[in-house]
Amino acid sequence: QVEQVKLLDRFSTSNKSLTGTLYLTATHLLFIDSSQRETWILHHHIAAVEKLPLTTSGCPLVIQCKNFRIVHFVVPRERDCHDIYNSLLQLSRTAKYEELYAFSYNPKQNESEQVKGWQLIDLAEEYKRMGVPNDYWQLSDANRDYKVCETYPRELYVPRTASKPIIVGSSKFRSKGRFPVLSYYHKNKEAAICRCSQPLSGFSARCLEDEHMLQAISKANPSNRYMYVMDTRPKLNAMANRAAGKGYENEDNYSNIRFQFVGIENIHVMRSSLQKLLEVSGTRGLSVNDFLSGLESSGWLRHIKAVLDAALFLVKAIAVESASVLVHCSDGWDRTSQVCSLGALLLDSYYRTIKGFMVLIEKDWISFGHKFSDRCCQLDGDPKEISPVFTQFLESVWNLTEQFPQAFEFNEAFLLQIHEHVHSCQFGNFLANCQKEREELKLKEKTYSLWPFLLSEQKKYQNPLYDPDFSPELTLLEPNTVSFNFKFWRNMYHQFDRSMHPRQSVFNLIMNMSEQNKQLEEDIKELEAKIKQRNGQPDTALVKEHQQSAPSVPVALKTPPCFKKEQPLIPVRDAVRTIEGSNTADNRYSEFVEEFSKAEPAVVSLEYGVARMTC
């Protein structure tokens, strides 16, 4: 506990600040300011801690979080600052999974609730919903003991004609053993999305079993014998891989395939792209042109567009040509997951529901071994493995929700909450890198699943404009990917910078209103019943008027907010109409006056050069 700590405003130029007390708990960093407002920061969310050079007012400490919150403290005594710094470094870097918050987090559930929670999403059920197994596709037991591929799930669906030797042979010819398997089956078109990793083709190597495998996939589609093989990498990268004995399919060796590169960059490019984006958006006194040119040079929106363009290519092959598509990148767990999951989302309206979206993430991301632990840096590891691949997926989905406001059952807050928990390590779902590791960690016994918690507060995540009939089942959602449709996701990257957001939210208002509508419908029913009753039996005793107003939510103080984290996007019911936070102090134009009203010298030129005063 350190007192008299100042929390600085990230974008302010004058040294405006809140003074309060900083507490360090086992799991959180807590700051309580003089007006008793609390800021909770989970240790696992901390991406970087930096100690800046000592100033006259104290020792500045900057904490960057994985949810894009940046806090800037000034600690009066250097020794305290040093202590906090060291503690945070230790607490935010965990060496073992067992030390993560999920293993100590206890949401007061009993064991059967915990088990039921984990059973909420059942992938076997999901494949059944898609229509497999069927005449063409079957469940394979080849990987039942993770013998063929360690990073795949136990249960895999493959073409009926793909025998075990073919599977094993093919897996030996694929990077990390990730052979082609079913990711999504389109009932109406009888076409499939399959996924795998790159072939170990080098410059000339071939593998008959792998060729058989692809043939089996194309034969499993009676509507179109041709199939597409999509390599989601830029061609240059794929070619470079050949020198390492990897590479891409040679069209001559495979019958009936059409090969296509779609050019999504690799995890390292994406990591530095996000870094640049954050640097630009975090600049104080940013001009419009610096923002736009920074946005451009970061390449971030270009990458998002590339991901969506790839998904669009995939779904067109399926919806228009009824052709099956095999998707891969290098290892088949980053770009492949993005493209397969977005493709399925565009093809199948089920994935646009709250539950369906959870299923989609469980299937294409968690079960197929997207390396959440490495990519999100859950344990102290190789910084070169960190990459915002999943964030890009969420951002692509957000872009779709912007273009199709009625197509999704969930809202932006849902995406943000998932992003929050992918990094929080509070629930077991996203821990570790693959299913095998998760089983070894006994996550289902020792931790809780995120999904039942999200479902229990579904109301917060519901899109009031959702129209289940917006697109009938299995009709394609076709986004427009012209560049101007892609916007900077302010609510993600500035989630905690309140002054930048609209001060009144139409969305919240509509959400509350549609919530209120349900309540009103109930009230009407009740009132009508009472009136009817009265008319029938005029002698009944007086019935107390039904109380209509919603009970106010008690604020639980001093408990780590598992879900009661600050929700800048979802203020409480009545706060919507007040314009909190709209004051000059929050905005940057304010500081000119503040400063020059104090300044008396004849010529003052202010920091930005925006306002200038002369005599």
The residues annotated as belonging to the active site are 329
Q: Are 184 and 342 in contact (CB under 8 A)?
A: no
Question: DSSP H helical segments within 220-299, as ranges?
Answer: 235-242, 267-281, 288-298
Q: How far apart are the first and last CA of the chain?
A: 50
- 126 vs 409 by CB, closer to another protein: 409
Whether residue 330 is annotated as binding a ligand: the answer is: yes
Whether residue 15 is annotated as binding a ligand: the answer is: no
CB-based burial of residue 347 (10 Å sphere; 0-12 exposed, 13-18 middle, 19+ buried)? buried
CB 33 to another protein: min, Å: 22
- 1 vs 605 by CB, closer to another protein: 605
- 383 vs 536 by CB, closer to another protein: 536
- 8 vs 465 by CB, closer to another protein: 465
Map the footprint of another protein across residues 162-201, applying CB under 8 A.
none
Q: What is the CA radius of gyration of the chain?
A: 27
Question: DSSP H helical segments within 404-446, as ranges?
Answer: 412-424, 435-440, 443-446
- Distance of alpha carbon 447 from alpha carbon 87, whole angstroms: 25
Which 3 state secondary structure label does DSSP give 176?
helix
Map the footprint of another protein across residues 595-614, applying CB under 8 A.
596-597, 610-614
Whether residue 266 is annotated as binding a ligand: the answer is: yes
- Among the listed residues 5, 7, 11, 248, the single contact to another protein using CB under 8 A: 11
CB 484 to another protein: min, Å: 6
CB-based burial of residue 495 (10 Å sphere; 0-12 exposed, 13-18 middle, 19+ buried)? buried
- 244 vs 610 by CB, closer to another protein: 610
Q: Give the interface segment with another protein, choosing from 92-100, 155-163, 262-270, 298-306 (CB under 8 A).
A: 298-306
CB 254 to another protein: min, Å: 31
CB 355 to another protein: min, Å: 22
Q: Are 34 and 3 in contact (CB under 8 A)?
A: no
Map the footprint of another protein across residues 410-469, applying CB under 8 A.
464-465, 467
- Among the listed residues 25, 255, 587, 607, the single contact to another protein using CB under 8 A: 587
Q: DSSP letters of 492-526?
A: HHTTT-GGGS-SS-HHHHHHHHHHHHHHHHHHHHH
Residue 492 is which amino acid? M
CB 599 to another protein: min, Å: 10
- Distance of alpha carbon 276 from alpha carbon 352, whole angstroms: 31
Peptide bond into 133 cis (omega under 30): yes
Based on the shown chain and the rule CB under 8 A, indicate whether residue 223 belongs to the binding site for another protein.
Answer: no
Q: Are 60 and 74 in contact (CB under 8 A)?
A: yes
Q: DSSP letters of 6-40?
A: EEE-TT-SS--EEEEEEEE-SSEEEEEETT--EEE
- Among the listed residues 542, 553, 555, 557, the single contact to another protein using CB under 8 A: 542
Quickly tell me which residue has 């059973």 as its tokens. 119
Q: Give the interface segment with another protein, choosing from 25-33, 65-73, 380-388, 542-550 (CB under 8 A).
A: 542-550
CB 532 to another protein: min, Å: 11
- Distance of alpha carbon 428 from alpha carbon 449, whole angstroms: 6
- Distance of alpha carbon 509 from alpha carbon 571, whole angstroms: 10
Map the footprint of another protein across residues 304-343, applying CB under 8 A.
305
- 243 vs 593 by CB, closer to another protein: 593
Number of residues that bind another protein (CB under 8 A): 81
CA–CA distances in Å: residue 218 to residues 324, 334, 429, 584: 7, 24, 34, 63
Q: Give the interface segment with another protein, choosing from 156-164, 194-202, 398-406, 437-445 (CB under 8 A).
A: 398-406
- Distance of alpha carbon 193 from alpha carbon 116, whole angstroms: 30
- 383 vs 538 by CB, closer to another protein: 538
Map the footprint of another protein across residues 24-43, applying CB under 8 A.
none
CB 147 to another protein: min, Å: 44
- 47 vs 277 by CB, closer to another protein: 277
Whether residue 463 is annotated as binding a ligand: the answer is: no
- Distance of alpha carbon 582 from alpha carbon 244, whole angstroms: 57
Whether residue 267 is annotated as binding a ligand: the answer is: yes
- Among the listed residues 403, 437, 569, 573, the single contact to another protein using CB under 8 A: 403
Map the footprint of another protein across residues 58-97, applying CB under 8 A.
none
CB 439 to another protein: min, Å: 41
Quickly tell me which residue has 């390492």 as its tokens. 244
Map the footprint of another protein across residues 475-534, applying CB under 8 A.
480, 482-488, 490, 494, 499-506, 509-510, 513-514, 516-517, 520-521, 523-524, 527-528, 530-531, 534
- Distance of alpha carbon 115 from alpha carbon 56, whole angstroms: 55
Whether residue 331 is annotated as binding a ligand: the answer is: yes
DSSP-derived secondary structure letter, 326: E
Backbone phi, psi, residue 456, to 5°: -70, -20
Q: Are 16 and 8 in contact (CB under 8 A)?
A: yes
- 242 vs 588 by CB, closer to another protein: 588
Which H/E stretch holds residue 261? Answer: strand 257-261
Q: Are 91 and 519 in contact (CB under 8 A)?
A: no
- Among the listed residues 9, 99, 566, 586, the single contact to another protein using CB under 8 A: 586
Map the footprint of another protein across residues 563-582, applying CB under 8 A.
577, 579, 582
- Distance of alpha carbon 503 from alpha carbon 465, whole angstroms: 21
Whether residue 334 is annotated as binding a ligand: the answer is: yes
Map the footprint of another protein across residues 338-367, applying CB under 8 A.
none
Q: Which two tokens stand for residue 75?
A: 């600690």
CB 53 to another protein: min, Å: 27
Q: Give the interface segment with another protein, choosing from 195-203, 293-301, 339-347, 375-383 (CB under 8 A).
A: 293-301
Map the footprint of another protein across residues 232-291, applying CB under 8 A.
281, 286-291
Binding residues, as ranges, are 266-267, 329-335
Binding residues for substrate, as ranges, are 266-267, 329-335
